Amino acid sequence: MAFCTGCSLLCDDIEVDFEGGKVKRTLNLCRKGRGHYDALTVDRLNPAVGGSGVVVGEAVKAAAEILSAAERPLLFGWGRSSLAAQKLGVDLAKKLGSAIDDPSSYSQGLMTEKILKGEIPTCTFDDVRNFADVSIFWGDDPSSSHPRHMSRFSYFPRGEKRQRGYEEDREAIVVDVRKSPTAMIAADGFFKIQSGGDAAFIEALLATLGGKIPKVEDKKKMLNLGTKLRKAKFGAIFTGQGLVQSRKGDVEAFSSLVAKLNELTRFSVIPSLGDYNTRGFNQTLFEETGFVNSVSFADGVSGGPEFGIAKYLDGCDAVMVVGSDPAAVLPAPLAKKLASIPTVAVDSHRTLTTDAAKVAIPMAVAGLEAGGSALRTDGVKVDFDGVVESDRLPDAEIIEMIMEAV
């Protein structure tokens, strides 16, 4: 049985046969996972320094030279890295006295931080499958981002106390600015909100739960929602980037809503994180420093937005990006700033970031070409093996080589 590291659900029931290095047959992969598997033979990264091909050892040496010479380096990425590589990454940041950050600093880091601090209750997907009768997808479209979310855990499956599945035992509610594929599944459970309208929706819902008439257009629908939530035996809320972005970083109103729901019944939150081991990085760094992202080891341990990629690129003189493509995602002014800084990119595939990097170091694809461990988006640890031979090194080995060379 193989694992899929195509998203943070880390599906563990994949069957796959290879022929001539290519995927011949698979079972249980979603469409996104199949793309992840098929990509094994597409656009793979080769070791390079200054755009010229080299052997891995030379690329590692050049990477170490860049990082050693820097006064304000940043180690960024880590979402598509194994737990071992993430731990080594934190150790490398300590050794270099550098900053370390991941994409959660501009996505769901605040939500994960609240969960790790115990300020928002959480649960596992297994709890959801077995017990949840209400699943709320808030700014979250798992049908697109985590395609087996609803079928394995949150809506369709039968579980210990939910033997009648979605037909009778489960309710799906979607709060979103657009009618996403998940919203189409939820049908009447879809609540369309205005862009940036989450706070108003939360206010109306809090009023409803407090027994007041909400100030919304469709009062009846909101009152029905309040009744459903009050009557829920075990509710789960899955959050997407839409919620955090809508609140512009302030998840306090959402926390108040979750607290109110937990006065009435039981509701837990699981963020739908993007890369397969985003949770792993956040938790690893949190356990080491008390921060989930945006940390500097330049003078002891410091954390805060000033050490996140958005601000730290100013004055930064070297970047190492591991398992991430910030040049493709960051706003153009920041992507340009990144490209102007000597960059080392460690990745399995060619990306806009590897194209802009001074040094490129290829790594094996976790779960396919290399084994390792990761934390699922609900925090459950998963150990996986590689299932196909590869001459590319696992990420942890590469970070270890760089660590020895700096």
Partner 1 sequence: MARTGEMTVITYRGIFQEVEEALGMYSDGYRDQSAVIFLDGGDAKGLAVEAGKAVLVETGSGRVVVAAKISEDPHPGVAFMPASPWSAQLLSGEAGEGGILEMKRFEAAVSPSGEAVTSIEEIGERIRAP
Note the residues at the interface with partner 1 (CB under 8 A). 6, 31-32, 34-36, 38-39, 42-43, 105-107, 110, 141, 143-145, 147, 177-181, 195-196, 241-242, 244-246, 248-250, 305, 308, 310-311, 325, 327-336, 339-340, 349-352, 355-356
Q: In terms of CB distance, is 161 or 179 closer to partner 1?
A: 179
With beta carbons less than 8 A apart as the criterion, state whether 279 and 377 touch.
yes
Rounded to the nearest whole angstrom, what is the least distance from the CB of residue 201 to partner 1 in the complex? 16
Q: Min. distance of Cβ 54 from partner 1 in angstroms?
A: 20
| Residue whose CB is less far from partner 1, 39 or 403 | 39
Element (H or E) spanning 226, and its range? helix 219-231
Cα dihedral value 295, 301, 304, 307, nearest 10: -40
Of 308 and 386, CB closest to partner 1: 308
φ and ψ of 378, to 5 deg: -95, 5
Are 402 and 96 in contact, with CB atoms under 8 Å apart? no
290-302 as b/e: b if 16+ CB within 10 A: ebbbbbbbbeeee
CB of 198 to partner 1, least distance (A): 11
Question: Between 219-231 and 198-209, two packed helices, what is the crossing angle to 10 degrees?
Answer: 60
* Residue 268: CB minimum distance to partner 1, A: 23
CA distance 173 to 181: 13
Rounded to whole angstroms, the Cα distance separating 29 from 121 reads 30
Are 402 and 73 contacting, i.e. CB atoms less than 8 angstroms apart?
no
> Least CB distance from residue 353 to partner 1, whole Å?
9
Alpha-carbon span 286 to 249, nearest angstrom: 19
The least CB distance from residue 182 to partner 1, in Å, is 10
Residue 379 phi/psi, 5-degree rounding, is 95, 0
Cβ atoms of residues 128 and 152 within 8 Å: no
Smaller CB distance to partner 1: residue 266 or 349? 349
Q: Which CB atom, from 55 or from 187, has the smaller least distance to partner 1?
A: 187
Closest distance to partner 1 from the beta carbon of 42 (Å): 5
User: What letter would DSSP give residue 345?
Assistant: E
Distance of closest approach, residue 282 Cβ to partner 1, in angstroms: 15
| Residue nearer to partner 1 on the CB measure, 159 or 303 | 303
Closest to partner 1 by CB, 221 vs 349, is 349
Give the integer Cα–Cα distance in Å for 23 and 17: 6
How far is 388 from 89, CA to CA, in rounded Å? 26
* Cβ nearer to partner 1, comparing 210 with 331: 331
CB contact burial 162-198 (16+ within 10 A = b; e otherwise)? beeebeeebbbbbbbbeebebbebbeebbbebeeeeb
Residue type, 96: L
Min dist CB 342 to partner 1, Å, is 13
Q: Return the structure tokens found at 133.
A: 């009768």
Longest Cα–Cα distance of the chain, Å, equals 68
Output 103 or 235, the one with its CB closest to partner 1.
Answer: 103
